[in-house]
Amino acid sequence: MGLYLKIKAITWVRDSHGLFDYDSSNTIQEVIKVVESGDIVRKGTEISFYNESFSSSEGVILNINEKFNEFVLNMMKDEPAGLVIRELKSSQNKGFRLAAGDRLKIGKVVMNILETHETIKVMKQDYDECEGSNLEDICCRICFRTHTNKIDPLLSLCDCLGSLALTHFFCLQKWVISKCIKKLNSHTLTYCWKTIDCEICKKPIPLKFAYEGFDYSLIDIPRPQGLYMILEDTRNDKFKHIIHVLTPDIAPLSLGRSSECDLKINDISVSRSHATIEVFNNKFYIKDNFSKFGTLILVNKPVNLRANDNLAIQISRTVLYVSVKKKSTFCECLKCCKNRVAQEPILRRRTEIPWEEQSLQSPHSQFDN
């Protein structure tokens, strides 16, 4: 079965923080037909397709691998790509289902979904290596105890030396949570940290790290009862670390720049009422409220497309509307022509029309040859 890709590429003429303005008419549109493997290349506002013989990697925003019955879309590391939520079709118009490990892009604000009520523990991420100790003559500088084990090891996470070098893991967790600023709303609880540095040597304390084959996280916020979702805000402006705990109920939970939203995101790229999160059958779904700069699910893994599949991918200031089409075969063309002829009225030649009918149809029929 022959397939090809029909790609409608729309590029915003402005290059601003990797955003695309969905309300702007100042865009350039191109349509590309892809039948083989190759790369989608952007040069300025021009979008082109080059097959595998094109060796240069400059300007490549998407790699396409054509297979027998599918196309595989491979994302570029230096060109963040995201699925456009407003274009994703779902049953009963629920929106896109969220799960732990997903990365949301709301305007230009990126949020990581660390955990939900369905998750047993926080998803593994990149962890820093740290030092440990089993010395019995050195104690924790907070609790002054010397015990150490895999659950509560004695750790050295800063540059302090001597009797101040080691601290218990649980002691560090309590110290970190005591440094946060809490913001409470009806359905959200936000934890903010301006700095998490050692108070003595001033070295930043890693919040996630690995020690002797185990992964640890110093952020241990209380988990609410029932449905909840934990988001990590990746912005690093006023606060260095921001954690949101969402506890929606039957009513949708609103996200946006307005002070009336359940989760206020103070960023100029975020619309006043940007998106909503709802719960269906104890699962979270997000819907975009036709925001100006859109809501994305960031992807870094290959996406497989088969016949009749449709997808919208935003790569910086370009949105690619991708659809998989079937190639028309010779037999299908004949069948189509046959159906078209069958639907058209039958026109008889004039020589086949009886003389009586001809005289009724034209007063000058006697002069016809």
Q: What confidence tens digit (pLDDT) does each residue in 83-142 have?
A: 999 998 765 678 899 999 999 999 999 999 999 988 755 444 454 555 555 555 689 999
**Domain chopping of the chain, boundaries:** 3-77+300-326, 87-296
Which residue is associated with the tokens 């994703």?
A: 88
Please say whether the structural domain 87-296 has been given the CATH code 3.50.50.60.
no
Provide the pLDDT confidence category of residue 187 given band limits of 50, 70 and 90.
confident
Interacting residues of 164 by C-beta distance below 8 A, sequence separation 6+: 141, 200
Question: In the chain, pLDDT over 90 holds for what percent of residues?
Answer: 57
Residues 268 and 261: beta-carbon distance below 8 Å:
no
Q: How far is CA 348 from CA 354, 364, 367, in A?
A: 11, 19, 20
For position 275, what pLDDT does the model report?
96
Return the closest-CA partner of residue 125 out of 205, 191, 209: 209
Which residue is associated with the tokens 């997000």?
A: 286
Alpha-carbon span 179 to 211, nearest angstrom: 24
Query: Would you put residue 198 in left (φ > 0), alpha (ψ -120 to 50) or beta?
Result: beta
With a cut of 50, say whether residue 351 has pLDDT above it: no
For position 30, what pLDDT does the model report?
96
The mean pLDDT of the chain is 84
> How many CB atoms are located within 10 Å of the residue 285 CB?
20
| Same fold across 3-77+300-326 and 87-296 | no
- The lowest-confidence range among 50-54, 98-102, 315-319 is 50-54
Please say whether the structural domain 3-77+300-326 has been given the CATH code 2.60.200.
yes
The pTM score is 0.79
Residues 130 and 211: beta-carbon distance below 8 Å:
yes
Residue 169 corresponds to which amino acid?
Answer: F
For position 147, what pLDDT does the model report?
86
The pLDDT of 47-73, averaged and rounded, is 87
